[in-house]
């Protein structure tokens, strides 16, 4: 017990280097933890401040922990300090204005978050797939200037307007240039099925199509070809827009 008191006293000398750092939230991972404040078990430390120093008991800083980084807790030193594993060495971190939680709770939270992200991504993919399938039923339909219904004939923006409204519940105006002002811009390597691709002369938009995946688009093209599938880069796009909000 005398040994622990000496070590903590040494740590208190670090306050100038550590205690004034922004608050840190702690978590930890270990098989056995000893010390005055923690029961035996597993814990991990996760830094929530922008920067937090990890130091030796001499006060020498051996690492600067950045926000979001995690460290294995080796020992609870008491008085608001823990010893953590930093690579192949160990150092001391202040836990002022922070909390410590068991690793199991952190792992479960991370697992739940990962599952939620996977479910969200799948729901987005399903929604986009459904939209593409809805649009594909109109392949072979007529092109008609000013047309807004692919069942009877539509121009390019009339087609995308109809499909987005009835296939995804997204309302757009009947004009390719006006439609290009909606949504969120994406790059060619980010585009996904359901995104709209706009073409034009220079920066002026005069045509719109829907990306359906595998390097292809569906669009109301011309009187001769009607609603058809083409390569997405058969012309140089002016912009690509995500209209789905995901």
Q: Is 15 helix (H, G, I), strand (E, B) or coil?
A: helix
Query: Is 2 in the active site?
Result: no
The candidate with the shortest Cα–Cα distance to 11, out of 105, 89, 94, is: 94
Q: Are 143 and 223 in contact (CB under 8 A)?
A: yes
Query: Is 174 in the active site?
Result: no
**Contacts for 59 with CB less than 8 Å, ≥ 6 apart:** 13, 14, 17
Catalytic member of 2, 15, 156, 174: 156
**Contacts for 210 with CB less than 8 Å, ≥ 6 apart:** 132, 135, 160, 163, 164, 194, 195, 196, 197, 217, 218, 219
Query: Is 166 in the active site?
Result: no
Q: Are 177 and 196 in contact (CB under 8 A)?
A: no
Please report which helix (H) or strand (E) contains residue 243, including its range: none
CA distances 129 to 28, 112, 134, 162, 239, Å, are 42, 25, 9, 17, 22
Q: DSSP secondary-structure letter at 39?
A: -
Q: Is 135 helix (H, G, I), strand (E, B) or coil?
A: helix
- Using CA of residue 164, residue 167, residue 171, residue 173, what is the dihedral sign? positive
- The sheet carrying 226-231 orders its strands as 184-185, 237-242, 196-201, 204-213, 216-222, 226-231
* Catalytic machinery residues: 156, 207, 219
């Amino acid at each position: 017990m005398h040994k622990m008191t000496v070590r903590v006293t040494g740590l208190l000398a670090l306050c100038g280097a550590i205690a004034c750092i922004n608050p840190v939230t702690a978590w930890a991972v270990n098989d056995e933890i000893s010390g005055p404040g923690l029961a035996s078990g597993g814990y991990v430390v996760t830094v929530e401040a922008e920067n937090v120093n990890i130091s030796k008991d001499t006060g020498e800083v051996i690492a600067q922990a950045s926000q979001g980084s995690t460290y294995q807790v080796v020992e609870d030193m008491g008085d608001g300090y823990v010893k953590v594993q930093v690579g192949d060495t160990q150092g001391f971190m202040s836990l002022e204005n922070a909390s410590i939680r068991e690793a199991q709770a952190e792992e479960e939270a991370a697992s739940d978050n990962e599952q939620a992200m996977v479910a969200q991504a799948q729901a987005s993919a399903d929604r986009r797939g459904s939209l593409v399938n809805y649009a594909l039923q109109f392949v072979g339909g007529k092109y008609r200037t000013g047309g807004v219904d692919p069942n009877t004939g539509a121009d390019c923006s009339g087609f995308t307007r109809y499909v987005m409204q009835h296939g995804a519940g997204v309302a757009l105006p009947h004009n390719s240039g006006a439609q290009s002002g909606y949504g969120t811009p994406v790059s060619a390597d980010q585009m996904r099925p359901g995104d709209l691709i706009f073409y034009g002369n220079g920066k002026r938009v005069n045509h719109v199509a829907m990306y359906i995946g595998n390097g292809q688009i569906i669009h109301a093209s011309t009187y001769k070809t009607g609603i058809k599938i083409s390569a997405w880069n058969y012309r140089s796009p002016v912009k690509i827009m995500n209209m789905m909000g995901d």
